[in-house]
Amino acid sequence: MKNFKVEWDQDGQRVRSVVSYSERAAQTRKKELEAEGRTNVTVLEVPISGGKR
């Protein structure tokens, strides 16, 4: 399973989501943020931390 975070520009600063999303959920969140007027919204794959692999 892959994890994703969403980053965007807000008030002149780069913001990254605190939670991790599935790819589908991250894409949905990206669309929501863009609809709210956020700019430069990107989805990033992040390493899975903890647990066994």
Query: Is the distance from CB of 44 to CB of 3 less than 8 angstroms?
Result: no
Count Cβ atoms within 10 A of the Cβ of residue 30 and give its class: 0-12 exposed, 13-18 middle, 19 or more buried. Answer: buried
Average pLDDT over residues 31-42: 96
- Measured from the Cβ of residue 4, the count of other Cβ atoms closer than 10 Å reads 19
pLDDT in tens, 39-48: 999 999 998 7
How much is the average pLDDT of 24-38?
97
* E strands, the chain, in order: 3-10, 13-16, 39-46
pLDDT at position 52 over 70: no
Task: Give the confidence band of 36 by pLDDT, cuts at 50, 70, 90.
Answer: very high
